[in-house]
Amino acid sequence: MMDLLHNLQQGFATALTFQNILYCSFGVFFGQMIGVLPGIGAPTAIALLLPLTFTVDSTSAIIMFAGIYYGVAYGGTITSILINVPGESSTVMTCLDGYQMALQGRAGAALSVAAIGSWIAGTASTVLLMAFAPSLARFAIRFGPAEFFSLTVMAFGLLTVFGGENPFKVVISTMIGLLLTTVGIDVVGGMPRFTFGVPQLLGGLDFIVVVCGMFGVAEVFNSIEQPEEGGDRIKGKPRLRDMFLTWEDWVASRWAIFRGTVIGFLIGLIPAGGITTASFIAYLSEKRYAKHPERFGRGAIEGVAAPESANNAASISGFAPLLALGIPGSATTAVMLAGFMMWGIRPGPLLFSTHPKLVWGLIASMYIGNFLLLLMNIFLIPLFTAMLRVPYSIMMGGIVIFSSVGAFSVNNNLFDVWMMLGFALLAYVMLKLGYPIVPLILALVLGKLSENSLRQALMISGGTFSIFATRPISAVFLGAAALAYMAPLFRWALARRRATALAP
């Protein structure tokens, strides 16, 4: 306990420097702004800024990126409530009751409960993260190559549960991501793979180039096809005095906030769990166990409190697998992992001992960031709603500029810019055909770790695959992976059984 407090004190000493407060404030403000604007998400925002932070201190930059990540979850709420358009997928469930509340003239209460719930969940989740992540890291110190390989297999397996509707398309997307990691010189044998004589490919595909294309420019094409501008459809512009909750509102929402926090924290810990899943499960469980479930969808304040608390709790707890295991739980943390690697930092079991300043500074900054977001959500709502009036024709230009400069700045050559455009086209077509992008990105980040761990483990075992089953932790991960891969089969069997039961 004393260690924890000492580490936290050190963390606050780092986070409370003028520079880090500035980066944290910019991160949460920018994140909130990105959350408000439909058509651009947290992974895109971080990917676009990543190449521009090469020269910034790594702790400050990571504090800023974390701020963007959890700030986005706050920002997406505003559009969900005011115009029934989720700024982020994690705020889809908020539309159901939040927009109804706005139509009833209670937009202020909806925004307020979302902000307070998010703040409570974010802060509680940070406390739990602080207690849980170091223990997870200590446990993970026992991991060898076999465990790391099995862990990545489990993460890929969990994608079939959470990553998309069609598990086969999820696997295809994952495999394409893995395939992309094999491009370039093989680090073990020194042999070029899939370079086709192109010298620029010898070093492999740069993650930033792929992400700028797949999340940045591809998002532009998707947004052009499905415009979501809605500045003229704002319902119930809330005044400051409407932003304070009544005692009845608080009584109705306090347990929903608590349950949302617990659900969000637990789901955030699962690799590939994600904040969207957390908000869905929190909303559905709140509705299921409510005394009057018929109120949901008609402006129930619990229907805003639960998913909003869950998505923030999950965005914070998602840092536990990232920091302690080096396994990202979502596309955003995958992009952040790329950022860590860009600064020569490898997240994993040793991160807490090798970079304590960074880890504890980041954790302490989450308290500060969440508090700043609470204030912004109460006092700056008019500013954020005004942003909705920026036409997409102008916004998309900014995205293309940032993506192009980002891709160019990796190696200072135009080849990468063309590659970025190629990946944008690939992502655009994949999304249109129902292939999810997130598995590809996660596989791209974890692919090298997966292959190197596999080969190292087999070198240790003399080529015997039983090493993965005989080491207990590895066996547990593989067991979980097997269950995850079989989950769609269970779902299909269950649906078939239900259909048979319902048939006359």
Partner 1 sequence: MHEKSSDVLAHLPDGERRASVFWSEAGVRYARVFSGVAVLALGVAVVLLSRRLPYHSDYGPGPGFLPTWIGYVLSACAIVVTAQELRAPPTAEEFFRPRTRLAVKVLAAIGVTFLLVPFLGFSLALGLLIGVTMRMMGSHRWLACGVAAAVAAVGIHYVFGRSLDIPLPTGLVGF
Taking the least distance from each CB to partner 1, the nearer of 147 and 416 is 416
Taking the least distance from each CB to partner 1, the nearer of 175 and 245 is 175
Residue 477 binds partner 1 (CB under 8 A): no
Residue 16 binds partner 1 (CB under 8 A): no
Residue 396 binds partner 1 (CB under 8 A): yes
Taking the least distance from each CB to partner 1, the nearer of 10 and 182 is 182
Within 145-204, the residues that bind partner 1 by CB under 8 A are: 166, 168-169, 171-172, 175-176, 178-179, 182, 186, 188-189, 191, 193-194
Within 425-454, the residues that bind partner 1 by CB under 8 A are: 425, 428-429, 432-435, 451, 454
Candidates 204-212, 249-257, 316-324, 387-395; binding stretch for partner 1 (CB under 8 A): 387-395
Residue 421 binds partner 1 (CB under 8 A): yes
CB of 339 to partner 1, least distance (A): 17
Alpha-carbon distance 411 to 417, whole Å? Answer: 10
Within 36-55, the residues that bind partner 1 by CB under 8 A are: 52, 55
Judged by CB under 8 A, how many residues of this single chain contact partner 1?
61
- Torsion, CA 185, CA 189, CA 190, CA 191, rounded to 10: -60
> What letter does residue 349 receive in the DSSP assignment?
T
CB of 456 to partner 1, least distance (A): 8
Distances (CA, A) of 217 to 209, 406, 412, 420, 423: 11, 11, 19, 8, 9
Residue 386 binds partner 1 (CB under 8 A): no
Residue 235 binds partner 1 (CB under 8 A): no
> Are 22 and 325 in contact, with CB atoms under 8 Å apart?
no
Within 59-118, the residues that bind partner 1 by CB under 8 A are: 84-85
Distances (CA, A) of 486 to 158, 178, 396, 497: 10, 21, 41, 17
Residue 226 binds partner 1 (CB under 8 A): yes
Taking the least distance from each CB to partner 1, the nearer of 357 and 432 is 432
The closest alpha carbon to 42, from 63, 62, 65, belongs to: 65
The closest alpha carbon to 86, from 247, 226, 257, belongs to: 226
3-state SS track over 158-208: HHHHHCCCCHHHHHHHHHHHHHHHCCEECCCCCCEECCCCCHHHCCCCCHH
> Are 211 and 335 in contact, with CB atoms under 8 Å apart?
yes
CB of 447 to partner 1, least distance (A): 9
Residue 463 binds partner 1 (CB under 8 A): yes
CB of 74 to partner 1, least distance (A): 22
Taking the least distance from each CB to partner 1, the nearer of 200 and 285 is 200
Within 281-340, the residues that bind partner 1 by CB under 8 A are: none
Taking the least distance from each CB to partner 1, the nearer of 138 and 233 is 233
Residue 205: count other Cβ atoms within 10 Å of its Cβ. 19
CB of 160 to partner 1, least distance (A): 11
Residue 393 binds partner 1 (CB under 8 A): yes
> Are 276 and 321 in contact, with CB atoms under 8 Å apart?
no
CB of 218 to partner 1, least distance (A): 10
CA neighbours closer than 13 Å in the CB half-sphere of residue 365: 34
Question: Phi/psi class of residue 348: alpha, beta or left (left: φ > 0; alpha: ψ in -120 to 50)?
Answer: left
Determine the straight-line distance between the first and last CA of the chain, rounded to whole angstroms: 62
Residue 404 binds partner 1 (CB under 8 A): yes
Residue 401 binds partner 1 (CB under 8 A): yes
Cα Rg for the chain, rounded, in angstroms? 22
Taking the least distance from each CB to partner 1, the nearer of 49 and 310 is 49
Taking the least distance from each CB to partner 1, the nearer of 217 and 338 is 217
Diameter of the chain measured on Cα atoms: 70
Alpha-carbon distance 182 to 188, whole Å? Answer: 12
User: Which residues would be at the binding site for partner 1 (CB under 8 A)?
Assistant: 52, 55, 84-85, 166, 168-169, 171-172, 175-176, 178-179, 182, 186, 188-189, 191, 193-194, 217, 220-222, 224-228, 230, 391-394, 396-397, 400-401, 404-405, 408-409, 412, 414, 417-418, 421, 424-425, 428-429, 432-435, 451, 454-455, 458-459, 463
